Chain A
Amino acid sequence: MIREAAIRFEGARVVYPNGAVGLASVDLSIAPGEFVVVVGSSGAGKSTLLRAVNGLTPLSAGSVAVQGQPVPRSEGRALRRLRAQVGMIFQDFRITRRLTVMTNVLVGRVAHVPAWRAMLNLWPAADREIAFRALERVGITDKAWVRAGDLSGGQQQRVGIARALAQEPAIILADEPVASLDPVTTHQIMRDLVRINQELGITTVVNLHFLDLARRYGQRIVGLRNGEVVYDGRAESVTQEDFRHIYGRDPDAGDVLDGQAAR
């Protein structure tokens, strides 16, 4: 049986206008419902890989397909429709601090409601319900009408996750979602992501900086180095030697979260 991959890269290459190579040539296939953690040193191409999936960064060569649909290379209706099925979570949360939590979460519904309704803030009751359910899933329902900027970092990231969930996406991309959080919050957020993946079956790709987090929460680990996949395997079988290969050096205390907490 050939199951349609949730995400499939074929010879994917990204060269930025300044000549920097984001992805050299990536072949990678992610099955529906998988929880994949992408690791690699700074500049390895982790963000580029994620941003290629929803077309924020267009490929220079090769192809990437989401659920069998090739990702369009230019902005337009087709790309917006594809993005509607792909939620994204960012390191810096990227929520509007001045607006309420609810409004921020409803942004996840923009592609699903008629344009004039979003424009006039007349969201259909069904979409408000979806937004509320997304908030319930990350446990901040009580903050619905609070200004997003008044929340703690961990709560703000949960708003980011709820916005992605409100899209009712097939795929969630998380680009270093815990990099600006403290260790305790980090584990809470990672557990949230794993739980959402298991309960809703949403294919999840998470870029992580810390090796211990990658090993602990990932099912599958993909290692990037200089824009190429240099490791791809199950999280429990990844070795110190593999990490050395991915990073091109010995992992040290700076590469594990516990090492940070101990300092």
Chain B
Amino acid sequence: MSDAVTRPLRPARNWALIIGAVTAVTLMTWWSGRGIRFSLTELACNLPGGRRLLVESWPPEFSFFPRLLAPLLETLQIAVVGTVIGGILAVPVAVLAARNLTPGFLVWFVDRNFMNILRTLPDLFWAMLFAAAVGFGPIAGALALTVFTVAVISKLWSESLEAIDMGVPEAVRASGGSWLQMLQFGAIPQALPHYVSYALYAFELNVRASMILGLVGAGGIGMVLETQRSTFEYPRVTLIVLSVLVIVLIIEQVSESIRRRLI
């Protein structure tokens, strides 16, 4: 009996690969640092400049706050619209990109690439595109965030969908269910908590992003930030940054507690 069961040898470690990878990362970092002329000494010399900016920005100009309310609200509205519309559009995009659910290779291939293109192009690009198309303002911002949301949710969620147990979907088919019914009753309920979680995450990202989007004229608090910064009103800039920080923290807390309840 003893010769029947020989224990397999532990495979040797691939040292060449490990050393190669470490060397490659080191070389790449060094080369990149040189490329952008990154230097610690220079950084140290410039620190006083940074400190001057900080000193000038403090304390925040709280009296400016009332004038922030409307733009802050607009920012939230842009984020809500972008998240909801994008969240809905992300559902088919994610489903068709999930290998186990997609109805065919061609659909999967086209959708996957579509998803990758959405994700590769930055939100600023979309904001400028839509600003050119529908004019500067919150609509352009909401459209840009819609695309951004589709990109974020579809990528993450299609991976969750690929990880579901295909047993129930098969049982739905065995009962005579169509592809859509298989999705509705078999596949999607399993991945629903993930969907909600990713949608909340997208909303957080969108509130943050709508600050940046304002810089290119896509509405919201970012536009106020840009005007104040260009006129060197640093205490006001501080107030804006702080208020966005507080809002993002609140949203994060709320969505975290929702998420915990889901799991």
Residues of chain A having any CB pair with chain B under 8 Å: 54, 56, 80-84, 86-88, 90, 92, 94-96, 98-99, 103, 107-108, 110-112, 115, 118-119, 160, 163-164, 167
Q: Check if A83 sits within 8 Å of B176, measured CB to CB.
A: yes
Number of interface residues of B (CB under 8 A): 19
Instruction: Verify if B178 is at the interface (C-beta below 8 Å from A).
Output: yes
Contacts A56-B174, A115-B178, A167-B176 aside, 19 further interface pairs with beta carbons under 8 A come to A56-B170, A80-B177, A83-B174, A83-B176, A86-B174, A88-B175, A90-B171, A96-B168, A96-B185, A98-B192, A103-B185, A108-B175, A111-B176, A111-B177, A118-B184, A119-B181, A119-B184, A160-B171, A164-B175
- Some 15 contacts from A to B, beta carbons below 8 A apart, are A56-B170, A81-B176, A90-B167, A94-B170, A95-B168, A96-B190, A98-B190, A107-B172, A110-B172, A110-B175, A115-B181, A119-B184, A160-B171, A163-B175, A167-B176
Nearest CB in chain A to that of B184: its residue: A119
Instruction: Verify if B59 is at the interface (C-beta below 8 Å from A).
Output: no
Q: Check if A110 sits within 8 Å of B168, measured CB to CB.
A: no
Instruction: Verify if B173 is at the interface (C-beta below 8 Å from A).
Output: yes
Q: Which of B171, B176, B189, B192 has the most CB of A within 10 A?
A: B176
Chain A contacts of B174 at CB under 8 A?
54, 56, 83, 86, 88
Instruction: Verify if B180 is at the interface (C-beta below 8 Å from A).
Output: yes
Q: Which of A82, A90, A103 has the most CB of B within 10 A?
A: A90
A163 to chain B, nearest CB (A): 7
A186 to chain B, nearest CB (A): 20
Q: How many A-B residue pairs have CB under 8 A?
A: 72
B259 to chain A, nearest CB (A): 15
Nearest CB in chain B to that of A96: its residue: B189
Chain A contacts of B173 at CB under 8 A?
56, 83
A73 to chain B, nearest CB (A): 15
Nearest CB in chain B to that of A88: its residue: B174
5 closest residue pairs by CB, A with B: A111-B176, A84-B176, A94-B171, A83-B176, A88-B174
A193 to chain B, nearest CB (A): 17
Q: Which of A98, A99, A110 contacts B177 (CB 8 A)?
A: A110
Q: Check if B175 sits within 8 Å of A107, measured CB to CB.
A: yes
A12 to chain B, nearest CB (A): 18
Q: Which of B175, B178, B180, B186 contacts A96 (CB 8 A)?
A: B186
B234 to chain A, nearest CB (A): 51
Q: Check if A88 sits within 8 Å of B171, measured CB to CB.
A: yes
